[in-house]
């Protein structure tokens, strides 16, 4: 009879995977992840059938965490600009506070191991951001562009802003404000 799965062990594996992949890249061996998590390599495969399964679940969990962090406390009755600024600040706060998670998301975001199904599910976790972007751009220069294109531009602007915030922490608030101003001009 197989052992029951433990939520704590699964969480330890996900934390270890984030740390090891951030340090070693996607080619990091599962044995290193298991060792960091304090479980046997066989136990890791009790929770994830393959390394690809682990990577897909990690991508989905990190995207969901980022989406929840960005949308937490979103003022539902606020104007589009205020809602978008809230999401922007919370997104940047999460990314600058979680550099390993941000790096792993970037690696997984371009990995062939992450399936289209997982990308779609991860996109649903960011639906709050997408809805506010749709509302914000409704009458702006990006109104007729595909949402995926607008999301890509927004993400590129956010990633550049985050890089500068990390590189120049003494100017982080100014970089965040300038990045948001650029995003708003792009959309509205």
Average predicted confidence (pLDDT) for the chain: 93
Q: What is the pLDDT of residues 130-176, one digit of tens each?
A: 888 888 888 899 999 998 899 889 999 999 999 999 999 999 999 99
Instruction: Output the pLDDT for position 3.
Output: 58
- Please answer whether residues 162 and 106 qualify as being in contact, where contact means their C-beta atoms are separated by less than 8 angstroms: no
Domain with CATH 1.10.357.10 in the chain: 58-187
> What is the CATH T-level fold of the domain 1-48, as seen in this structure?
Arc Repressor Mutant, subunit A (1.10.10)
- pLDDT above 70 as % of the chain: 98
What is the pTM for the complete model shown? Answer: 0.90
Instruction: Output the pLDDT for position 1.
Output: 41
Nearest CA to 60 out of 17, 97, 96 is that of 17
Domain with CATH 1.10.10.60 in the chain: 1-48
Nearest CA to 46 out of 12, 19, 23 is that of 12
Classify domain 58-187 at the CATH class level.
mainly alpha
Burial, 26: exposed, middle or buried (Cβ in 10 Å; 0-12, 13-18, 19+)? middle
Instruction: Output the pLDDT for position 130.
Output: 81
Q: What DSSP string runs through 38-101?
A: TS-HHHHHHH-SSHHHHHHHHHHHHHHHHHHHHHTT--TTS-HHHHHHHHHHHHHHHHHH-HHH
Q: What angle do CA 161, 164, 167 make, to 5 degrees?
A: 150
Q: Is the pLDDT of residue 4 over 80?
A: no
Q: What is the pLDDT of residues 89-139, one digit of tens each?
A: 999 999 999 999 999 999 999 999 999 999 999 988 887 788 888 888 888
Q: Is the dihedral of CA 84, 186, 157, 175 positive or negative?
A: negative
Assign residue 5 a region: left if phi > 0, alpha if psi is -120 to 50, beta otherwise?
beta
Q: Is the pLDDT of residue 52 over 60?
A: yes
Measure the CA–CA gap between 6 and 25, rounded to whole angstroms: 26
């Amino acid at each position: 009879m197989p052992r029951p799965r433990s939520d704590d062990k699964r969480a330890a594996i996900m934390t270890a995977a984030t740390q090891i992949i951030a340090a070693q890249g996607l080619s990091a061996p599962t044995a290193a992840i298991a060792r960091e998590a304090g479980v046997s390599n066989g136990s890791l495969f009790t929770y994830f059938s393959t390394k690809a399964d682990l990577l897909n679940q990690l991508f989905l969990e990190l995207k969901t965490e980022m989406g929840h962090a960005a949308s937490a406390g979103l003022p539902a009755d606020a104007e589009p600009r205020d809602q978008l600024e809230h999401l922007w600040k919370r997104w940047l706060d999460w990314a600058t506070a979680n550099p390993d998670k941000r790096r792993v998301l970037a690696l997984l975001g371009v990995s062939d191991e992450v399936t289209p199904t997982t990308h779609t599910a991860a996109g649903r976790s960011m639906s709050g951001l997408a809805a506010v972007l749709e509302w914000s751009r409704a009458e702006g220069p990006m109104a007729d562009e595909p949402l995926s294109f607008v999301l890509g531009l927004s993400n590129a602007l956010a990633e550049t802003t985050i890089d500068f915030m990390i590189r120049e922490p003494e100017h982080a608030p100014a970089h965040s404000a300038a990045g948001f101003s650029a995003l708003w001009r792009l959309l509205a």
